Amino acid sequence: MFVGEREIKELGVRCASRERGCPWTGTIGTLDTHLATCEYLLVTCPNKCEDDKDGGQTQLMRKDLEEHVQSRCLKRAFECPHCGEKGTYSSITVEHDKVCSNKMVACPTTTISYGKLTLPHPIVI
């Protein structure tokens, strides 16, 4: 039986991401359009972060990408909370954290009176 191109385009297909939960069904002719926006399609992180588990680039479903990039990605833009140094989350929390000069707690001072003079007196802790 010969099937013309037009019939093929109208064949019902399901999205290749259906095992990840994509409910989409349509025709081959509209599959490309769907894949351009499919929330369940695996995409790699735009920051090219690596997956701890298998060491490859992190792959995640498109619907999870935004949350990943904003709050989970180890390579998301991140500022040191102590000095404002800019870097990635992993470079700041792992490498920079060891050398951050502002991280050391400023020595608390108290005042002690010498007669009429009031001098700041550093406390050694």
Binding site for Zn ion (CB under 5 A): 15, 17, 22, 24, 38, 40, 45, 47, 49, 58, 73, 80, 82-83, 85, 100
Instruction: Report the sign of the C-alpha dihedral through residues 38, 39, 43, 46, in that order.
Output: positive
Q: What is the nearest approach in angstroms of Zn ion to the Cβ of residue 18?
A: 7
Q: What is the nearest approach in angstroms of Zn ion to the Cβ of residue 72?
A: 7
Give whichever of 84 and 120 is closer to Zn ion, judged by the CB atom: 84
Distance of CA 22 to the CA centre of its chain: 23
Q: What is the nearest approach in angstroms of Zn ion to the Cβ of residue 27?
A: 14
Q: Between the CA of residue 33 and those of 7, 28, 30, 38, what are the distances in Å?
A: 18, 10, 5, 9
Give whichever of 79 and 121 is closer to Zn ion, judged by the CB atom: 79
Distance of CA 88 to the CA centre of its chain: 10
